[in-house]
Structure 1
């Protein structure tokens, strides 16, 4: 079921949200200081392309917290709002609820990506 869910996800919006994460990663990689942040964006773009069957566990220390604050101010809010809006639209129908829940999972990840581990 996860394979079918991922295929439907990719066709009906996952490609767009994954490309949003890739764009954020490319923008961060423009500067040398932002390359680690950009690489993290590319990792989460992979999750955004195919989220079914994967779980995110949050953790991290003070360094992750500080980087999350900088991330939130620069790139986190637009990505989180994108996922929240699309997730809300998906939850209008019963069939779209699993897809909306995946968008909500990605919205939380967009707010706090550093220190998070994808399983």
Structure 2
């Protein structure tokens, strides 16, 4: 079922949004100091191509350890990301969600866009995993 939803997703806007994430990654990579954000944007671009069957989880919840992206430096990175790129990527996801939610068949895709919009606002410190690996994570 996930494969069918992912194919329909790509046809109904997923490819365009993945392209938007790749543009953001390229802009960040060109600035040299933006390379850590570019890496996160590329990971999310891949997730944007195939969102069904996968989910984004905080890396420290998955591994049980804090790292550079999940600590205070990651929060600063997320704030910078939000100001320079996150808000317009989130806005694009919300616009797609509104367009798709108008139809009943587009509601699952609209929901996926809204989840991606939230991720677009605060991506540093998150990792993409299959949904079955994300389920047993304890709350910290």
TM-score by length of 1: 0.96
1:106 deviation in Å?
A: 0.4
1:57 deviation in Å?
A: 1.3
User: Paired residue for 1:30?
Assistant: 30
Note the 1:42-61 alignment, pairs <5 A. 42-58=42-58, 60-61=70-71
Which structure 1 residue ranges, 5 or more long, are not aligned?
Answer: none
**How far apart, in 2, do the equivalents of 1:84 and 1:106 lie?**
9
1:96 deviation in Å?
A: 0.6
Q: Which runs of 4+ in 1 moved over 4 A?
A: none
SS in 1 for 2:52: coil
Alignment size in residue pairs:
119
Deviation per CA, 1:9-36: give whole Å up to 9, x if none.
1111111000000000000000221112
Which structure 2 residue ranges, 5 or more long, are not aligned?
Answer: 61-69, 130-140
TM-score by length of 2: 0.82
**How far apart, in 2, do the equivalents of 1:95 and 1:51 lie?**
17
**Structure possessing the higher radius of gyration over alpha carbons:** 2
SS in 2 for 1:87: helix
CA-atom RMSD in angstroms: 1.0
